[in-house]
Amino acid sequence: FPKSGSFLDVREMMETKPSKADIKIEIEEKIKARQQELKQLNCTDDYFNTIEKARIQFDAANSFLSFGMYNAYVNKLPNEEMMASIQDGLAYFKADIDNYLSLKCDASILCLDAFGAVAQQYIELHGEENIDTEILDYLQTQELVYYLGSKGPVSEVLSRKQDVLAILRTEKYKGLLNKAFEKYNHLIPGQKAPALNFTTLDGKQLSLEAYKGKVLVIDVWATWCGPCKAESPYFEALAEKYANEEMIFVSISIDSSEKPWRAYLEKHEKSSLQVITPRSNFKEYELLGVPRFMILDKNGVFIDAFAPAPSNAAFENIIKSL
């Protein structure tokens, strides 16, 4: 999750309740200290120095940008006051934010997570006409690729791809966008699901192949995932409603340890088959996050590798059609 760093110490803010003037001094002192540390290095080349100087500046900008939100958190402000705190902070530090975002933007800084975190503010403050074309194309591509990873190559995403390709101005990013979508070619409906092994509650080692001849409805989840738990009752209700010899509902945990998985299942009764496997086993599934729902036919072929959530009526409609 690309995020710019911050020079602000929230815990310290909670203890000392500094003023905005104090915050400005604190941030600027930390910027100078970081810049001095960089100057003292004698083993770095020009490229490293260029992007590290940029990162320090973006971290500084993010520190000023974050003050309002941190202040709201420290003082436990309600929503309306939180928005006022954010706007007040942006207004007070506007010149500082502008100063630390005014570094000439070029393609060498695209590798920085910190850049992605503050890029939109950069554009809002300086205008698209002052941003290099490659950087604008990068941001468009980055956003859609992340969206692709979250949603999969569903019709909505494919349509958005055509819209983005139409506005990209560099062949480089058109190529990168097409390449990103190619990674999902083996996950489209009609393709054989990649091999996948897992462990059952009684310790048996099984694979998808063990269920050939059955329709598989799969929920990929984890005990630490709030949205997974929120969708689980819907999945389990369907598992009970459509229980039969032709269709199996499988919940695959990606917990890194069996202990929390087993402890959770001891307290929560499930209708679906419970299994666990390391997240690394999902490499070929392009698993960006959980929950993830998939439906396979009796031959282990994808009906939908990026099925809607069980709380969505569209999920049950797919099951009904089978």
Annotated catalytic residues are: 225, 228
Name the helix (H) or strand (E) containing 303: strand 302-304
- In 3D, which of 286, 104, 308, 307 has the Cα closest to residue 189? 307
Classify residue 259 by burial, with Cβ atoms within 10 Å: 0-12, 13-18, 19+: exposed
Query: How many other C-beta atoms are found inside a 10 Å radius of the C-beta of residue 181?
Result: 15
Q: The tokens 């909670």 sit on which residue?
A: 14
Using CA atoms, how far apart are residues 188 and 30, in angstroms rounded to an integer?
50
Q: Is 244 helix (H, G, I), strand (E, B) or coil?
A: strand
> Is the Cα torsion angle 250, 251, 255, 258 positive or negative in sign?
negative
Name the helix (H) or strand (E) containing 263: helix 258-267
Name the helix (H) or strand (E) containing 41: none
The amino acid at 145: V
